[in-house]
Structure 1
Amino acid sequence: MEHISDHVVRTLWYIDLCAKQGQAVPYEGIDPFARRVPPRDVRRESAMNSLSWMFEESGRVVRRPDPVAAYLLGVGWITKDDQGFVRLTKVGRAVLAASGAEAAEMEAQDPEVADVALDPQDPLVYVQLTRRLQKAGQGLLVDAYFKAQSVSWLIESTNLRRVLISSRHRSSEQDRQQIAVALATVPNGSDLEVRHTNDPALHDRCVVSASGEVQLLGSSVNGVGKHLTAVITPSDDIAAVYRQKYEGLWQNAQVVTPQPVTA
């Protein structure tokens, strides 16, 4: 993009990539990244080669870099939370998508299908589901009927670290008790936080990624492999409604406290 410096675009790409992998970037870490890059492979032909004018002969230090972090925050392309970690805003993601170069390269390496059908007859159905959830990073899974048997899989196979369940259905109390035991006994169970709410607004199943994207799930994760379902990416305006709704329910929900098994 002619009006945006390449190292600014590269920094947007870095923040977005880390968020999708469940790694939050601290605000203080933005400028050090913008000024330094890994050693380049001289035989590699990629969009990154177009950034060569930015570096000294050593290929490591940007010449006369302007502040990046303050600029991104000032123009509203990133937001910073209370702990000092950043993520791209909707505008920031739009700028990154419009930049073309890095985004196109990543898309070619790992194309993302907007919608996918999960067929119970497909022996790799859980592989497909896991791959989609991995892209959400340390996001939020909203699943009213989430079961204890899925705790271990969620921790070991994805980066999701928050689950919102319902306490309105008939077996919810028993489900919460079993989840509480699983959180206390499954390896790294303490990495996962589960909350429950009896708010009737909790209905649809979805995943809200760490970077703000939303994926709608056609069934509970424990129903995948039993019924034909789909994973759908809604439009930005619809995603914003889901994100605001379920983040609000999460804030007001009650924590499922891990409960060790006792004699």
Structure 2
Amino acid sequence: MDHIADHVLRTLWYIDLLASQGQPLSQEGIDNFARSVPPRDVRRDSLFGGLSAMFGESGRVLRKPEPVASYLLEVGWIEPFQEGARLTKIGKAVLTASGQEAAQLEATDPEVADVALDPQDPLVYVQLTRRLQKAGAGLLVDAYFKAESLVWLIESTNLRRVLISSRHPKADRDRQTIAVALATVPNSSDVEVRHTNDPALHDRCVVSANGDVQLLGSSVNGVGRHLTAVITPSTDISAVYRKKYEDLWQSAEPVDPQPVQA
């Protein structure tokens, strides 16, 4: 449905999900979610405008999601419900017609183990976020993790550790921007980032707080550009990945916050 903005469909999905669980969103909550920035909804040449000169980049926001609650009420797609809102029959029809009904059902089904994240799906980051939320205060292993994903990680997941590689060609610059982000982004002190030059770090995965493992087909930076699989391996394979990356984490070097120099 090209005539409906992706973030509107994503918000409809989220409103319906929470209302069905007895936790309806307020209008403020709806707009906060709609304006929340998954990496695909805002394209930037550089996340931190003030850092552009430091790293030789010129950046500007090319597209920014707008609030949607008043619009959804006005067109009759949502209605007041308890202390928040829920979809009307029209809103549900729009959501179904968008082709995202299957994605919505999958997102509410805790038994779904594997999923393919289609870059054409406007809810692709909703699905990814839902998967990572299951990990609790876990570990993200992503060699190419970048600073522009840090805000999303902090605001939308409970992950508390990120392990990156210092071997790839742009590793030094990426590590520098992450260091500045850790000193700049609100609540970034909740997350610890470490780097390693060990060649054993090559697969991308999430190790949950309870020890479960999910394998990611691409870096979180690539979701929205490439078809990405999220797979839950068998118990024995999970144990191998868990030990491997917990050991790498223990030997990795921390990325310390680096305030911008005036």
Count of aligned residue pairs for this structure pair: 156
Question: Which residue does the alignment assign to 1:160?
Answer: 159
Moved over 3 A (4+): none
Cα deviations across residues 117-176 of structure 1 (Å, max 9, x unaligned)? 000000000000000000000000000000000001000000001000000001000000
Cα distance in 1 between the residues matched to 2:110 and 2:214: 16
Question: Which residue does the alignment assign to 2:234?
Answer: 235
Question: Which residue does the alignment assign to 1:40?
Answer: none
Question: Which residue does the alignment assign to 1:184?
Answer: 183
Cα distance in 1 between the residues matched to 2:195 and 2:110: 35
Question: Which residue does the alignment assign to 1:255?
Answer: 254
| Cα displacement (A) at 1:262 | 1.1
Cα distance in 2 between the residues matched to 1:254 and 1:237: 28
| Cα displacement (A) at 1:111 | 2.3
Larger Rg: 1
TM-score, normalised to structure 1, is: 0.58
Question: What SS does the corresponding residue of 1:164 show, helix, strand or coil?
Answer: strand
Cα deviations across residues 79-135 of structure 1 (Å, max 9, x unaligned)? xxxxxxxxxxxxxxxxxxxxxxxxxxxxxx752311000000000000000000000
Cα distance in 1 between the residues matched to 2:257 and 2:154: 15
Question: What SS does the corresponding residue of 2:221 show, helix, strand or coil?
Answer: helix
Cα distance in 2 between the residues matched to 1:143 and 1:117: 18
Question: Which residue does the alignment assign to 2:218?
Answer: 219
Q: Which runs of 5+ in 1 are unaligned?
A: 1-108
* Residue identity opposite 2:247 in structure 1: G
Cα distance in 2 between the residues matched to 1:158 and 1:247: 20
Q: Which runs of 5+ in 2 are unaligned?
A: 1-107
Question: Which residue does the alignment assign to 1:104?
Answer: none
Cα deviations across residues 27-72 of structure 1 (Å, max 9, x unaligned)? xxxxxxxxxxxxxxxxxxxxxxxxxxxxxxxxxxxxxxxxxxxxxx
Question: Which residue does the alignment assign to 2:172?
Answer: 173
Question: Which residue does the alignment assign to 1:194?
Answer: 193
Question: What SS does the corresponding residue of 1:222 show, helix, strand or coil?
Answer: coil
* Residue identity opposite 2:255 in structure 1: V
Cα distance in 2 between the residues matched to 1:170 and 1:223: 17
Cα distance in 1 between the residues matched to 2:202 and 2:127: 23
Matched, 1:204 2:203: yes
Percent of pairs identical after alignment?
Answer: 84
Cα deviations across residues 213-246 of structure 1 (Å, max 9, x unaligned)? 0000000000000000100000000000000000
Matched, 1:133 2:135: no
* Residue identity opposite 1:143 in structure 2: D
Cα distance in 1 between the residues matched to 2:170 and 2:126: 28
Higher helix proportion (structure 1 or 2):
1
Query: How do 1:66-81 residues align onto structure 2 when only pairs under 5 Å count?
Result: none
TM-score, normalised to structure 2, is: 0.59
